[in-house]
Structures are given as structure tokens and as C-alpha cells.
A and B are shown apart, each in its own frame.
Chain A
């Protein structure tokens, strides 16, 4: 017989009935291979640990069910999970959550802002943002030369290009246009001559130095720092290699098949509206899932119809990735992240500049120059005026014109060469930032995956439950 103090546990039950799969196991007829049983709460429900973990995982992925995921449906006791959940993972989870909250505010503010200023505001807002981005990314000096705060100085294409900057920054985050962010920031400006502000006009007219020695208007193509077009091309090539490498590394770390397409699976437009009834677009078709069903030899007819959310794949890697996606899926976070890029680039550039004060090598690499002296560099016009056009043949005139135009597009104007190349260190800084961010995200995914893999549910004894209610194995007969 039991001693007074013996508190029975799940292992003392004569018949165990899993409340999830409804399968039972008798003590005198154990299953082979054995499955772990758990009694996670304060009532009489018991379950296979694997069934319960599967349920918790599925429920946690559904934001509406997540609150009940760790509660016993009968007695309401909270399950205690034991897993490898290091401080870093909790920190990353919290940071991730709070960024999402900020993202929500941004999207609400953005919607309000767009609504208020719709008629004429969108264009102005986008243009203003674009000019801000140019200022931040190319540096104040370049901004003053190319655009200035005075709208009347702007070259005609600024009014087309600037409003596209925020749009292309946002598009560049969608994985389809990875090389976009830099293009509108660089390309049109490479060939733009300095603004013909009164000051520079005066300088060009009256400064004898400029008058006398007209300089070829374009900067050399392969100088250091690289010209804008070289940066743009190198950036897109590097990005595509980097993306490929990153995705291979990610799949290797998470142990997921690299061909699986997870990107499209969870596109839920949840903008937090309070419509009484919202229709949730739930595209239940995903290849991994169907493969698995086929492997199990069961053909579900009318596939994709009977709401098969999260059927099948419980691979922790996939789940970790998807769970992160769901919390990430905030439009505001996405957009604000994109619009922050020039500012981030500027901050990183400033950090690099500060670092370069301690390192000659870095200073050389960044090609840091003191701010331009001696006024505005010569304009294209002054060089053109100085050319002996009359002495050239017609063909030669055309060829010279074309060459100058091409050199301008590729190498940028001399302004680019003579100014402090803020854009160069900002590009480098942005690259460092993107890599660092991806590393952190990868770490987060890896830790989340490990947390899922190491999960165990804390088993409790039947303390507090009347022993007579339980169908226990009679130990005295066995011994």
C-alpha cells in the first residue's frame, strides 16, 4: 500500500488517456517505442508531451490563441515550460516586440498623415523626404552644391527624382528590388552640375582663376573613392551575392531546406482595425505541407479549402522563422525601417568618420577630405565655353559632346571628386549596418529555434487531487 506521504504522479496511473490525441496506454501494456507522458496542471488531464508541445506551438503562432496556449483548458493552471531560453533570446524577443509596437504607431501616424495631406501633401511630403535623404546621405556640402534649401535652385529632375526616393527605399525592402535604395540617391546626381546659385554664378564670372583654367567637367571613372555609378553597380552585385550567401547560411543554421518558400506564406493584412467582421485571407497552400501529406499517404481532397493552417511542418527551424515573421509583419515597421535608411547611413558614416581619426588606414580608405575651399568648382558651361569648338569637325564635336556626357554620368561631376565624400562612408556604413542587423536577426532565429527544440513541459504530481479519483496501479500486487 501507499505510504501516507506518497503523492502519485502520471507514472502511477493504470490507464493514461491523452486529452489531445485521445489515445490510451495501459500500465501493463506499454507502448513501444514509449512516448513521454506528462501531467502539466492541477487537474486530472494528462497528455503525451509531444502532443502538448505541438498544441502549444500551434496556439502560440496564432495571435488570438496565444493567450490560452499555456493554460490548461480545464483547470486553467499555467503550464510551466522548461527550455533553453537564454537572456539574449528574451532580450531579442522584447526588442523585436517593442520595435513592432513602434511600427504600429508609425503606420497609424502614416495613415493619418497621408489622409490629412492627401490632395497635395503626398507629393510634397515625398519630395521633402527625398531632399532630406539626399542631404543626409550625400552630406551637407554636396546638398548645398546640388540642391540647396532654395527650391528655385533645384534642377528640373529633382522634382521627379526626390519624391521617388521614399518609394524606392520602401520597394527595396521587398526583396525584388534589392539594389534600388542607392540608385535614386546617386544616379541622377552624378551628372548634375552644381546649382547655379547667385554666388557661384558670380564666382564663375568674376573669379579669374576659374575663367582662365577651365577644368574638364567630369571626375575620373576609377578614382578613389569610387564614383557614384561604380558604387551603385558594385552595390547591386555585392547585394545579390550577399543575399544568396545569407540565405544559404540561414538555412544551414536553421536546418531548413533552402528551396522552401516561406516568404509568401504569411501575408496577413492586420492593420488593427476594429471592424466587427474582418475576412482573413488565408492561403493554405504551401508545398512543404502538401509534400508531407503525400508522404503520409493521405490525399486530402479539396485541398487548400478546408482551412489547413499550420498542418504538418513542425520543424523547429521553419516554425521559428514563421513565428518571427508574424510578429514582424507590421507594415509600419517595414516602412519606417526603409525610410530610416538614409539616417542610419548618415549615423554610421559619422561613426566611421570619428573612428577614422584614430586610424590613418581608415582615413585613406574613406578618403576623408576637408570641406571644399576656393568656392564652387567650375561648371560645365565654363569648360564648354573654353573649348575650341570652331576648330573641330562636326563629327568631333558630337564625339566630344558624347564623351563628356558619358563621363559625367559614369564618373560624376568634379564636385563629386572634390567634396568630402560623405556618400562613400555612408554607403560603407549602411553596408556594415545591414550586415550587423542580419547577424542579429540570424542569432535571434537560431536562439528561437533552439528554444523550441529544447522545450520540455514541467511534469507535476497529482498533489491536491483526491487519490480515490485516480485509477492507480496497485503496487502491492506487483511487488
Chain B
């Protein structure tokens, strides 16, 4: 069994044993390549009542390499309107790029994104959204974002 599979197996066991934090639910984790989780921001925020789905993709060198994380955009799910989330679901967050560290996990990434949404005051799309969405690669990890905002 590869390191990534073993590590994801442990994370899965932890989720099953200890449950997930409030507002985060595991939708499916059928294999060790793609997981889906749902994300809801509780309390008085601009996203009240909205539920989003996150897609995690892992490669064989996880957790050395970061997972590819994006919001699901399809018939059922929409990406949140947020200055760091493009309308195709790609997220500009430093912890998914240069701030990634193996100490992070699926759940801690969800929690960080949850608090990113919770702290948003005004729903607006990132600047240059249309241009990005038109040219964006399928996998968000292949985009090199510039993190200009430290409180992401």
C-alpha cells in the first residue's frame, strides 16, 4: 500500500471515529483518489443557508504534494461567490499552494476554507474571473496563483 493510501485510510478512520466538525460532511470517499465533502457556513454570514461541495483529488505522493481542491460546479452544486473563488470552482488559497504542509489534512483544509467563507463581508467574484475561467486548466493545481492577500 502506498504512503498516500495509508495516510488517507487513517484520515478516513479518524473521520469515521471522531466525526467531522460542524458544517462539514463527508459525501463520499469510495477510493483514495477522489473525495467529496460538503461545506456549510454556519451563523450569520453572507452564505447563510447555502451548502457547497468540495472535491479533493490526491496523487500518489500525498501528503508530500498538496491535494487538488476545488468547489464542485454542476447541476446540483454551485461555487460560492467569493473574491478568492472563481466561478468554475477553483480556489485561490495559499494553503493549497505554496503554504501547503503535510501537517494539514482533508478536514483542516475544509475548516480553513469554511473560515475563509465565514469572514467574507461582500459576495463578489475575483477580478479577472471571466478571463481565468476561459483559460483555466482542468486541474487547479496547474494554475500558479499569486497570493496577494495574506488573510486567505
Q: Which residues on A are within 8 Å of B, measured CB to CB?
A: 19-23, 45, 51, 54-55, 58, 62, 64-65, 67-68, 73-74, 274, 276-282, 293, 296, 298, 300-301, 305-312
Contacts and interface: CB of A to CB of B under 8 A. Distances in A.
Q: Name B's interface SS.
A: loop
Given A68-B98, A279-B135, 11 more contacts: A20-B102, A22-B6, A23-B6, A51-B102, A64-B97, A65-B98, A65-B100, A73-B101, A279-B143, A306-B59, A311-B59
Contacts of B101: 55, 68, 73
Nearest to A308: B59
Contacts of B97: 64
B95 to A, nearest CB: 10
A64 B102 contact: no
Interface residues of B, number: 41
A20 B59 CA distance: 15
Contacts of A300: 33, 59-60
Contact of B61 (A22, A74, A278, A312): A312
B137 interface: yes
B50 interface: no
A306 B59 CA distance: 6
Contacts of A293: 60
A56 B103 CA distance: 13
A22 B108 CA distance: 14
Q: Name A's interface SS.
A: loop
Which 7 A/B pairs are nearest by Cβ-Cβ distance? A73-B101, A307-B141, A64-B98, A311-B61, A20-B102, A308-B59, A22-B10
B104 A21 contact: no
B10 A20 contact: no
A305 B138 contact: yes
Interface string B128-149: 1001100111110111111000
Contacts of B58: 306
Contacts of A308: 59-61, 65
B107 to A, nearest CB: 12
Interface in B6-46: 6-7, 10-11, 33
A308 B62 CA distance: 9
